[in-house]
Amino acid sequence: MIILKKESEIAKIRESGKIVAWTLRMVSEEIKPGVTPRQLDELAEKLIREKGGRPSFLGYRGYPASTCISVNNVVIHGIPDDKPLQEGDVIDLDFGVLKDGFHADSAWTFPVGKISKNAERLLNITQEALMQGINRAKAGNKVGDIASTVQKYVEGNGYSVVTELVGHGIGRSLHEEPSVPNFGRPGTGPMLREGTTICIEPMVNEGKAGVVTLEDGWTMVTEDGKLSAHFEHTVAVTRDGPEILTVE
């Protein structure tokens, strides 16, 4: 069941989203060669709590950290470790915040120092796919309109959308209905109505779409070892169109 939110509830998601966006910006400023994902995770948790929020991911289904930090060929759910970042890496910061009973969730993929032209293009295409998907999050459209728009743009630029992972609804729970894939046909899936709150999150592979889950049960990597990128916003469907809630 899709839970439609009142404006007062969207306002609370918006407040959580502001903390997400601020923390994401602050942590991203510390990304450089030699820094470890664990250091970035610890900073993110500290900042979230300073703003009166709680890390949504910490302890969720047993997850052991406040953030998912995925480097290079890690698609999603990378557990922060002590391996220093290197010049030319790409790093995905993904986390949520719970405040006043409501979650917000966002992810962004950043360069570590100077990256290759190919990696830079992958990040740009994935970010643009997110924005094109958000533009379709209008009342009266269907989830498939978002999904097909993302897929068409990504594949039209020579990349692959991950099909084993999808976006999701969000609110009092971190994951709610509906599922929001990055692939599909226009005009299909649940109707988007005013008050729907969703996370749109293209996960795009440089090579093939296949992914593999590592032995830790969380970390998902590209099957072919090539790069992956991930961008995500929490979005509300309003009478005036889509509103991005994970901004400062």
- Of 231, 241, 225, nearest to 199 by C-alpha is 231
Check residue 189 and give its pLDDT: 98
Token pair for residue 204? 């795009």
Check residue 126 and give its pLDDT: 98
Fold of 7-244: Creatine Amidinohydrolase (3.90.230)
Check residue 106 and give its pLDDT: 98
The mean pLDDT value for 123-128 works out to 98
Check residue 95 and give its pLDDT: 98
Check residue 193 and give its pLDDT: 98
CA angle at residue 201 from 93 to 166, to 5 degrees?
A: 115
Distances from the Cα of 205 to the Cαs of 47, 157, 227, in angstroms? 31, 11, 6
Percent of the chain whose pLDDT exceeds 90: 100
Check residue 118 and give its pLDDT: 97
Confidence of residue 121 (pLDDT cuts 50, 70, 90): very high
Confidence of residue 132 (pLDDT cuts 50, 70, 90): very high
Check residue 245 and give its pLDDT: 98
Q: Would you report the helix, strand and coil content of the chain in percent, each value rounded to 5?
A: 30, 30, 45
Check residue 162 and give its pLDDT: 98
Check residue 179 and give its pLDDT: 98
The mean pLDDT value for 21-48 works out to 98
Amino acid making up residue 65: A
Check residue 59 and give its pLDDT: 98
- Of 18, 13, 20, nearest to 238 by C-alpha is 13
Check residue 144 and give its pLDDT: 98
Count other Cβ atoms within 10 Å, centred on residue 46.
13
Query: 156-191 pLDDT, tens per residue?
Result: 999 999 999 999 999 999 999 999 999 999 999 999
Check residue 76 and give its pLDDT: 98
Average pLDDT, the chain: 98
Largest CA distance in the chain: 48
The mean pLDDT value for 210-239 works out to 98
The mean pLDDT value for 181-205 works out to 98
Domain edges within the chain: 7-244
Query: 60-100 pLDDT, tens per residue?
Result: 999 999 999 999 999 999 999 999 999 999 999 999 999 99
